[in-house]
Structure 1
Amino acid sequence: MNNISWRAIRAFIAVAEQGSFTAAADHTGYSKATLSQQVSELESALDVQLLLRTTRKLRLTEVGEGYYQRCKQAMQQLDSAADWATHSREKVKGKIRINAVGGIIGEEIIAPLVIEFQKTYPEIQIQLDFSSVRVDLIEDRYDLVIRMGKLPDSTLVVRKLQSIKTRYVASPNFIKMRGPILKPMDLSQVPLIYGSVDQWVLTRGKTSHKVDVEQGIKLVSGRAMRLAALAGLGVTRLADIYVQADIQQGKLQEILPGWSESTQLSMVCPPLRHQLARVRSLMQWLKDHFPTEYERRLKKGPAEKG
């Protein structure tokens, strides 16, 4: 094992990712001959074949695929460690990559807070994108992810931001026309306004009830779902931040209030990234300011786009 160099491992990773020695040479700046020699030395030191080379193509062996995955993760950890060692004692500066939920929470609360953080620390370089897709913090190189829902047990650092209540609502005219909705099974008899989830699970204590969407309209946007509910198209389920102000103003009426659920919004980051001053500072900034902004938006309602 002492014969294996980090340079050879990086050469192997580059070839595996680029798909050829030529492309890897263009990507790394090293010559094809140098990369080929380093990979060959790595295979000799391991006494295994990592790559299948033919005149037409190159691909990983089964062992090579497994070795690549483990080496890539290890190198990312080493890069993070080097980043931490370099910047842990410096002032708040550098790049922070964030992936967050979108909609009102992302666009009207998280983004403005991140912008204010950037103004306060001008040497920070923020990269923020919105996505509901679960990301791998190691594979995708994010420093911080902001997600709703139950998180799997892991070694990641988790900080809670806000408990968000889900409400079931419809317009007063819709309820007047359709009649009262008193129990979850009544939802199967009315049109529903739904997004990416077409099976609702209502929970009250230890009791749960599943409702399959059989009629209604699908709109994969919280804003659009709210507008459809205001227009009287059916019953929808949305986070309180979308509909609380409408309920208070009588524009929407909450149904089945005893079946409302609460979902946790959390910040998640890898342990090594959490040790960076810039990441810790942003997480503390969000934790200090998010609750106040959330309460303000609850009272105000969604910003009208136009």
Structure 2
Amino acid sequence: MAKHGSFTAAAEHSGFSKANLSQQVSELEANLGVQLLYRTTRKLRLTEIGEGYYQRCKQAMQQLDTAAEWASQSKEGLKGSIRINAVGGVIGEELIAPLVIDFQREYPEVRVHLDFSSVRVDLLEEQYDLVIRMGTLPDSSLIVRKLHTIKTRYVASSGFLDKYGSITKPSDLSQVPLIYGSVDQWVLTRGKTQQVVQADKGIKMISGRVMHRASLAGLGVTRLADVYVQADIAKNRLIEVLPGWSESTMLSMVCPPLRHQIIRVRSLMEWFKEHFPRAYQQLLKDGPTG
């Protein structure tokens, strides 16, 4: 009922009668001594206590499913599915995805479902086995494994700098066009010093690849991970500005504790740990495709 919004819809989905479901909920409320649902003639909605009870029951069922899978898993080979949510862009498409493909080639009975998103997901709520994320992660009961440290660089084309002049301090960024994405407030750090630049002058593009192309076209100063721009800096297609203010961001693998006990999930995490650094260094040298 909590999921479907009415006894009628829940009955159609479950195969139980509407009257039977209503009676079961009423008996549960009586046993608990609390009201779980607000009932109207058209729909149902959870009370505050009902919402909390529903979420805890759902998590408990997921844990039971995982525990059963752990108990019955085969130690002779890897098989089954792994659901991954990962940061996208160059890191997801040219680093994570190829490593997943290699893993599937090595273990053909494992089925990996990979999707890319910058949105924070709740591992328990969304039922992902593994999430790969950049940045500081909140303390929790989840298993967190460092994958790599990514450096952020500020770059512009030589033509842009010839037109607008040198960028020697963070405050200079407020005087020139910037190319920015979903992060429009840049926090530049050098030692214990921080300076904030509001990116509102220039062009906004919610794609690292497009921001990279725009910087090559001379449209502004941009802030990107080194895998996007390191090869261009080495070949003088882009110039790094404010090198003393470059930042480091952690790329981490995050996994629920029970899923970490599943052999195939743990094996994929170990695969990433072994192969990701070398792939990253190669991408720094070659630069992104496309």
Shared fold (TM-score greater than 0.5)? yes
Query: 1:105 pairs with 83, 91, 114, which one?
Result: 91
Unaligned runs of 5+ in 1: 1-14
* Equivalent residues of 2:6, 2:42 under 8 A apart: no
Aligned match of 1:243: 229
SS in structure 1 at match of 2:151: strand
Moved more, 84-93 or 141-150: 84-93
Q: Unpaired segments of 5 or more residues in structure 2?
A: none
SS at match of 2:2: helix
**Shift in Å at residue 88 of structure 1?**
6.1
Q: Secondary structure at the match of 2:123?
A: coil
What's the offset of the Cα at 1:32? 2.8
1:183 equivalent to 2:144? Answer: no
1:300 equivalent to 2:286? Answer yes
One-letter amino acid of the counterpart of residue 132, structure 1? S
Q: Give the conservation status (yes or no) of the 8 Å contact 2:155–2:222.
A: yes
d(CA) in 2 for partners of 1:163, 1:87: 33
Cα distance per residue 1:207-250 (max 9 Å; x no partner): 01111123111111111111111111111010000000000001
3-state secondary structure, aligned to 2:250: strand
Map of 2:66 onto structure 1: 80
Report how far residue 90 of structure 1 moved.
Answer: 5.6
1:160 aligns with 2:139: no
1:45 pairs, out of 10, 16, 31, with: 31
Q: Which moved more, 1:57-66 or 1:97-106?
A: 57-66
* Cα offsets for 1:66-118 (capped at 9, x unmatched): 22122222222222222222226463111101000000110011011101111
Q: Does 1:279 align with 2:265?
A: yes
3-state SS of 2:3 partner: helix
- Per-residue CA distance 1:176-201 (angstroms, 9 max, x = gap): 22111111111111111111111111
Is 2:204 the partner of 1:218?
yes
Q: 1:290 aligns with which of 255, 276, 279?
A: 276
Q: How many residues align?
A: 290
Q: Which residue in 2 is equivalent to 1:62?
A: 48
Distance 2:200 2:32 in 1: 58
Does the 8 Å CA contact 1:100/1:147 hold for their aligned counterparts?
yes
Q: 1:19 & 1:82 partners in 2: Cα distance?
A: 30
* 1:268 is the counterpart of 2:264: no
Question: TM-score, length-normalised on structure 2?
Answer: 0.96
Could you list the per-position Cα deviations for residues 116-174 of structure 1 after superposition, in whole angstroms to 9, with x for gaps in the alignment?
A: 11111111111110000000000000000000011111111111111100000000111
User: After the TM superposition, which segments of 4 or more aligned residues of structure 1 sit over 4 Å from their partners?
Assistant: none
* SS of residue matched to 1:145: strand
Alpha-carbon spacing, 1:49–1:162, altered in 2? closer, same or farther (3 Å): same
How many percent identity over aligned positions? 72
* AA aligned opposite 2:5: G
Q: Which residue of 2 aligns with 1:96?
A: 82
Q: Is the 8 A contact 1:88 1:275 kept in 2?
A: no
Q: Are 1:133 and 2:119 counterparts?
A: yes
- Pick from 230, 249, 256 the counterpart of residue 216 of structure 2: 230
